[in-house]
Amino acid sequence: MATSKLHLVKLFYIVLVCQFLIDECAVEKKPFIFHQDDKRMSVIVPKTSGSSKRSSQQICDPVICLASHENTRTRLTNAGTHSLPPATPDDVCYCCPLNRIPSSFTICSSSVQSQKQDVVIVGAGIAGLATAVSLHRLGIESVVLEQAESLRTGGTSLTLFKNGWRVLDALGVGDYLRTQFLEIQGMAINTEDGRELRSFKFKEEDESQEVRAVERGILLETLANQLPPDAIRFSSKLAKIDKGGSGETLLKLTDGTQLSAKIVIGCDGIRSPIATWMGFPEPKYVGHCAFRGLAFYPDGQPFEPKVNYIYGRGVRAGYVPVSPTKVYWFVCFNSSTPGPKITDPSVLKKQTGELVKNWPLELLNIIDVTPDDTIIRTPLVDRWLWPTISPSASTGSVVLVGDAWHPMTPNLGQGACCALEDAVVLARKLASAIKSEPKSVENALKSYETERWPRIFPLTIRANLVGTLLQLDNPLVCSVRNNIVIPKVVRLGPILEHTNFECEPLS
């Protein structure tokens, strides 16, 4: 009841303020700005006297910002005296003085105008940040738009093979990340009853191979730290994309901000709005879902540095040490539908345990010591880029990178690696073209697609087929797999041949 009354009082106050401002501006023929997002509602009007144009040095009255913070509280802000830079669309903040009569409202923002940018990257995930760092190292600055309020450092871990590490070395962060994560020496394949079918050592097959499981959050933070302080704009969600004049692209954000960009790079993930705008279909669900988690051992985890796979009938699992105290794990299972979205982590842990309740105790212990809030459930999807049928990776000066272009299943551990590869290839293509005519940029984007497609398309199909074969639940097929194919046929070389990728330093 108290909360309802507070909402009514706040709503009544907002209505009174807005009505006064409308009346005031109508009489004086002055513009005003009304801005709303999920945290704040602000109304700004120009000063009663003098120019309404904002200068770089302007005094703001103490103000109140009417905020819907956690849906229950009104946040008060005393603006005091500010030395303000030239107005930008992000500067909507001040309204309604607390200690002055209504006629003394002051302006603290100007009307929203399109910001001109050379390169705008949409999405601050692995693909977006790697692309921004690649361009930065080649002397090309960019703006990265991220819809979240901060880096999305949640999630679990991902495996990077030598192709991913070569890119990270080119970006100047490889050595630092190596100090954070264990090098994985090999892999073992086991049955659900604990019988080992086959084991491999990576260096015996390929001395140059390098495998580490990396925490997603640390990887993102490390890449972000390579960029200038203001390169990433958070709380910047794309609402609309459209073609502008002179070959530029218009980006409108949900807060009303508009950007006019010479080049737009879509790194906005598997549900990419930019990919949809370019005509790509939604990624296709492949019939499998996966639980993932990051187990924590405060006194040190007890496992050897190797990838451990466990194959059952229609269910498979795996775990790999990440650091001296953390272990990444997954459980993949067949499901005819992606299933309802479950946000309760305790339910996710319970469902995971039910899938593997009679499996090796090591796996059960790993799941048991996993903090609930690190467990996630995701449907596996991909998109096959059929030649002549699928849309191009670029339209004019708009291009896609990583999952936005080629989502693939994680069965080869190449999703993040391929996104990193995309980033450096695209940056090199753009480096020599970005200062030339628009046509040079378009040609560079086409060249990027021409180089990347022959690598991406086969990997996407191969990852899908590997997952399909491993998820078969026919008893006879599983028996042949466990007793003939894996022990006598499978070789490590062909499994890892896709990790060959040359990447020179970016400078």
Query: In this predicted model, what pLDDT tens digit does every residue of 160-191 receive, in sequence order?
Result: 999 999 999 999 999 999 999 999 999 999 99
Tell me the pLDDT of the chain averaged across its residues: 83
DSSP 487: I
Compute the distance between CA of residue 15 and CA of residue 31 in angstroms, rounded to an integer.
18
- The CATH number assigned to the domain holding 279 equals 3.50.50.60
Q: Which residue, 445, 348, 340, is CA-closest to 392? A: 445
Q: Cα 424 from chain centroid?
A: 17
Compute the distance between CA of residue 156 and CA of residue 146 in angstroms, rounded to an integer.
20
The answer to whether the CB of 451 falls within 8 A of the CB of 425 is yes
Compute the distance between CA of residue 476 and CA of residue 379 in angstroms, rounded to an integer.
27
What is the pLDDT averaged over residues 131-146? 98
DSSP bridge pairs for 309: 189, 318
Q: Are residues 66 and 206 in the same domain?
A: no
Compute the distance between CA of residue 10 and CA of residue 8 in angstroms, rounded to an integer.
5
Phi-psi region of 70 (alpha: psi -120 to 50; beta: other; left: phi over 0): left
Q: Are residues 238 and 98 in the same domain?
A: no
Residue 378, Cβ density class (10 Å: 0-12 exposed, 13-18 middle, ≥19 buried): middle
The pLDDT, as a whole number, for residue 280 is: 98
Q: Is pLDDT above 70 for 238?
A: yes
Residues contacting residue 152 through CB under 8 Å, at least 6 positions apart: 124, 125, 146, 220
Q: Is pLDDT above 80 for 424?
A: yes
The pLDDT, as a whole number, for residue 56 is: 29
Q: Are residues 411 and 271 in the same domain?
A: yes
Q: Are residues 90 and 149 in the same domain?
A: no
Q: Are residues 39 and 95 in the same domain?
A: yes
What is the pLDDT averaged over residues 104-128? 74
Q: Tell whether 324 is covered by a domain.
A: no
Q: In terms of pLDDT, which residue wins out, 374 or 73?
A: 374
CB burial of 387-410 (b: ≥16 within 10 Å; e: otherwise) equals: eeebebbbbbbbbbbbbbbbbbbb
Q: Let me know how long the chain is.
A: 507
The per-residue pLDDT for range 450-477, each reduced to its tens digit, is: 999 999 999 999 999 999 999 999 999 9
In the block, residue with structure tokens 């693909």: 127
Q: Are residues 97 and 134 in the same domain?
A: no
The answer to whether the CB of 409 falls within 8 A of the CB of 380 is yes
Q: Tell whether 433 is covered by a domain.
A: yes
Which of 84, 110, 136 is the C-terminal boundary of a domain? 110
Q: Is pLDDT above 60 for 356?
A: yes
Q: What is the CA radius of gyration of the chain?
A: 27
Q: Tell whether 300 is covered by a domain.
A: no
In SS3 terms, 369-383 reads as: CCCHHHCEEEEEEEC
- pLDDT tier, 14 (very low <50, low <70, confident <90, very high otherwise): low
Compute the distance between CA of residue 180 and CA of residue 325 in angstroms, rounded to an integer.
11
Compute the distance between CA of residue 330 and CA of residue 352 in angstroms, rounded to an integer.
9
Q: Tell whether 507 is covered by a domain.
A: no
**Beta strands per DSSP E along 339-482:** 376-382, 394-395, 398-400
In the block, residue with structure tokens 């086991």: 190
Q: Are residues 87 and 126 in the same domain?
A: no
The answer to whether the CB of 377 falls within 8 A of the CB of 331 is no
The pLDDT, as a whole number, for residue 154 is: 76
Q: Is pLDDT above 90 for 64?
A: no
Q: Are residues 58 and 194 in the same domain?
A: no
User: Which tokens is 283 given?
Assistant: 């990624």
Q: To which H or E segment does residue 455 belong?
A: helix 438-470
Q: Tell whether 333 is covered by a domain.
A: no
Q: Which residue, 45, 40, 33, is CA-closest to 65? A: 40
Q: To which H or E segment does residue 424 belong?
A: helix 415-431
How do strand 306-311 and strand 394-395 relate by DSSP bridges?
Answer: unpaired
The pLDDT, as a whole number, for residue 439 is: 84
Compute the distance between CA of residue 14 and CA of residue 8 in angstroms, rounded to an integer.
10
Number of domains in the chain: 2
Which of 55, 87, 110 is the C-terminal boundary of a domain? 110
Q: What percent of the chain has pLDDT over 70?
A: 78
- pLDDT tier, 137 (very low <50, low <70, confident <90, very high otherwise): very high
How do strand 284-296 and strand 143-145 relate by DSSP bridges?
Answer: unpaired
Q: Are residues 394 and 278 in the same domain?
A: yes
* Helix (H/G/I), strand (E/B), else coil: 485: helix
What is the pLDDT averaged over residues 378-393? 97
Q: Are residues 21 and 146 in the same domain?
A: no
Q: Is pLDDT above 80 for 487?
A: yes
DSSP 410: G
Q: Tell whether 100 is covered by a domain.
A: yes
DSSP conformation letters of 160-204 = E-HHHHHHHHHTT-HHHHHTTSPBP-EEEEEETTS-EEEEEEHHH
The answer to whether the CB of 46 falls within 8 A of the CB of 107 is yes
The answer to whether the CB of 186 falls within 8 A of the CB of 202 is yes
In the block, residue with structure tokens 């080649």: 138
The answer to whether the CB of 327 falls within 8 A of the CB of 184 is no
The per-residue pLDDT for range 68-93, each reduced to its tens digit, is: 332 322 222 333 333 334 434 343 33
Q: Are residues 81 and 188 in the same domain?
A: no
Q: Read off the pTM.
A: 0.79
The answer to whether the CB of 121 falls within 8 A of the CB of 238 is no
Q: To which H or E segment does residue 47 belong?
A: none
User: Which tokens is 272 given?
Assistant: 């990419």
What is the pLDDT averaged over residues 149-169? 93
Compute the distance between CA of residue 68 and CA of residue 299 in angstroms, rounded to an integer.
43
Which of 78, 110, 142 is the C-terminal boundary of a domain? 110
Q: Tell whether 76 is covered by a domain.
A: yes
Which of 11-20, 23-32, 146-155, 243-252 bottoms out in mean pLDDT, i.e. has the lowest?
A: 23-32
The answer to whether the CB of 300 falls within 8 A of the CB of 324 is yes
Show the domain range for 143: 118-289+376-499
Q: Is pLDDT above 90 for 17?
A: no
Q: In terms of pLDDT, which residue wins out, 93 or 315?
A: 315
The per-residue pLDDT for range 23-43, each reduced to its tens digit, is: 443 333 334 344 444 434 444
The pLDDT, as a whole number, for residue 153 is: 80
Q: Are residues 125 and 86 in the same domain?
A: no
Q: Is pLDDT above 60 for 8?
A: no
Q: Tell whether 318 is covered by a domain.
A: no
